[in-house]
Amino acid sequence: MTELHKRGIADLAADYKSGAHTPSEAVAACLSQVERLEPKLAAFEIVLQDAAQEAAEAATRAIAAGHRIGPFHGIPFALKDLIDVEGHVTTGGSNAYADRVASSSATIAKRLIAGGGVLIGKTKTVEVAYGPWGTNQQRGTPWNPWDAETHRAPGGSSSGSGAATAAGLTACAVGTDTGGSVRIPSSFCGLTGLKVTEGRLPLDGILPLSHTLDTPGPMCRSVVDAAIMYLTMDGVEPGKIDYQLTASEGVFGAMTKGVAGLTLGVLTQADREFLTPEVRESYGDALGRLKSLGAEIVEITLPRSIDHMRWAVATLIGSEGYYHHGATFEDPSNHMDGDIEKRIMAGKAVTANEYIGALQERLKVRGEFLKAMRGMAAIVSPTTPITAPVVAEIDQDTAPSQLTRMANYLGFCALAQPMGVADNGLPMSLQIMARGRHETTALRIGKAFEDDFAGIGWPQIA
């Protein structure tokens, strides 16, 4: 049972189906990891131990009685603490919201629980989700499990979801992504994370940062796991997911097709200059693998620069972030995270003209990208240009979101997945960005790469 915490969604689903293991055993293994590692990792805001054990026992009895719902039945999962669960506090990573008890559950939480998922707890986040490093001055910064000796950034803003999943405190977790907040922690923590198309999944019951750009998404250990969780969050009937998984149909059928014949857009040599040498080399190796699998690799000149899109996203997040949280940050009785306060208050300075102009321009740029991507299945890049930095050395005026914000700006979907390990023992990540509503394409390409890749193993703390 001690190794059950290393089993992902698909593996556990197969174990339950065969009778090799039960949800009670899997949840007990995760809770044992929580007890052992949470004092160091500090990944959770709240651990729902008693409720998780009860739900796991119920799932075990149901499956034993022949009432298995689908592949997510009995799977331990966690929710980023922006997502409401009825009767529990949603802090949003802020002391100012520490007494905010949810009167109802978010739709995506309801769907995961209706699919049979066992909620382990709620994970830490950057205050109001406005930060890419995963740091939080008020409620603590989770420890990246890939370095046992030095406190490194877990990535943000879904910091606790990344750390908890990577270390086996849960089989998977939900993050939210406004400028990279599912993909950056997936990159830094060696996970597979899916940023879904803008508007693809419901946002009700999720504390907003930018209502235009916010997207919830799965953070898992494999591409198949991401697909199972994504479909569950999308409200697909669990029995249908189970059938498609078993019969290799739908998304799962597409993931068996490989990349032969697909054209993939890749960064020009000039656009690779800001990558660290190791990330640049690993990216080149990844492209070589995809080419050997039959994909055509074509450099794409981006219609707008990476920096232009990055700062355009900052305009939207800042303006909408101030709309949603400005009053909280301006209240002198609240002691807010100073790093986040600076970003929120910068949004106050955005004029209506600038804000509406940014919204209009992104529609134009989206059209330019769709035109430039004709004949291409996706644009493939690194997820982050660096590996996880030491927390004490982070410059909060910088961000590792150069390549992630592009997908949010365009409203596209994007998959982040491991592509190698640097000499410092930290994971590096590949990003596959596909057009809006083309999650299946991103997952297909990701599965082909994953199947050809030896993997990165487990972090030091696991």
Helix or strand run (H / E) with residue 174: strand 172-177
**Whole-number Å distance between alpha carbons of 344 and 321:** 6
Helix or strand run (H / E) with residue 18: helix 9-18
- Burial class from Cβ neighbours inside 10 Å (0-12, 13-18, 19+) for residue 349 reads exposed
Other CB atoms within 10 Å distance of the CB of residue 141: 23
> Does residue 24 carry a catalytic annotation?
no
Helices marked H in 270-385 — which ranges?
Answer: 277-292, 306-330, 338-348, 352-372
Residue with tokens 């709240």: 46
The DSSP result for 403-446, as a single string, is TTHHHHHHT-EEEEEEEEE-TTS-EEEEEEEE-TT-HHHHHHHH
Helices (H) and strands (E) in the chain, counts: 15, 11
**Whole-number Å distance between alpha carbons of 374 and 25:** 49
Instruction: Determine the 3-state secondary structure of 206 from DSSP.
Output: strand
Helix or strand run (H / E) with residue 447: helix 439-452
CA gyration radius for the chain?
20
**Whole-number Å distance between alpha carbons of 401 and 274:** 12
**Whole-number Å distance between alpha carbons of 48 and 97:** 19
**Whole-number Å distance between alpha carbons of 209 and 211:** 6
Please, what is the Cα angle at 148 between 451 and 161, to 5 degrees?
Answer: 60
Active-site option among 158, 159, 161, 181:
181
Active-site option among 80, 110, 124, 195:
80
Active-site option among 24, 94, 105, 157:
157
> Does residue 181 carry a catalytic annotation?
yes
Q: Please give the positions annotated as active site.
A: 80, 157, 181
